[in-house]
Structure 1
């Protein structure tokens, strides 16, 4: 039986629920990830913050195509809206019902979880709920390629 622990990535940045929106945006930009795990001071997984959650709170129009003559106005409005929330704590925007997997879970079950949740990444915790890393669809594909070779 192959476990998630064998294929997961162990290097991972996380944020605290007390971090500000501005700090989280900078972290996302620096590490080039649009989703980050939120942990407490003991590294217990609390949830996830998605860039989409922040965007929903600052973009005046719902996603979709903006008319070109309104684009500049909408961008300026989004920047103004961001200015208003940049010092808010990320706990206001994070999701707490995020799916996670345990490091000792069977890789055979991972495909179902990833595809049903439409997630590119799943965060990995140990038995105590402490964040251990993440696993991506790329890691799942690598596992499947190994199964195919054997």
Structure 2
């Protein structure tokens, strides 16, 4: 049985609920991630902050496609709105208790969660709830490739 810990990525950035929106944006930019895990002071996973959560709160009217004739106005207003909220804590915008998988879980469970819930990334915790890393679709593809290669070897040996 292939386990999550065999395919997960262990190096990652995290943020605490008391950290500011500005800090989250800076970490997202530097790490090229649009989602960060939120952890408590003991590194226990407690939630997730998505760039979309922040954008939805600073882009006026509707989130999504902006009408090109209003784009300049919308961007300027978003900048002004961000000035007002950039010092606010992440806890206002985070999603609590997002799905996480345990590092000893079967990779087939990850496949089920990712494909049925359309998740592109899941955070990985140990059995005590401490953040251990993350797993994304590219890791799932690697697992599936390994499974395909292993089934080829089994078929060839018959």
Q: Fold conserved (TM > 0.5)?
A: yes
Q: Is 1:45 matched with 2:31?
A: no
Shift of 1:58: 0.3
Q: Which residue of structure 1 aligns with residue 24 of structure 2? A: 24
Q: Which residue of structure 1 aligns with residue 57 of structure 2? A: 57
Moved over 6 A (4+): none
Q: Which residue of structure 2 aligns with residue 70 of structure 1? A: 70
Q: Which residue of structure 2 aligns with residue 128 of structure 1? A: 128
**C-alpha offsets along residues 10-61 of structure 1, whole Å, 9 cap, x if unaligned?**
0010001110000100000000000000001110001000000000000003
Aligned equivalents of 2:65, 2:99: Cα separation in 1: 31
Normalising by the residue count of structure 1, what TM-score does the alignment of the two structures yield? 0.97
Quote the RMSD (CA, aligned, Å). 0.9
Aligned equivalents of 2:82, 2:41: Cα separation in 1: 27
Q: Which residue of structure 2 aligns with residue 100 of structure 1? A: 100
Aligned equivalents of 1:142, 1:30: Cα separation in 2: 26
SS of the residue corresponding to residue 69 of structure 1 reads: coil
Normalising by the residue count of structure 2, what TM-score does the alignment of the two structures yield? 0.92
Give ranges in structure 2 of 5+ residues lacking alignment. 151-158
Q: Which has the larger radius of gyration?
A: 2
Give ranges in structure 1 of 5+ residues lacking alignment. none
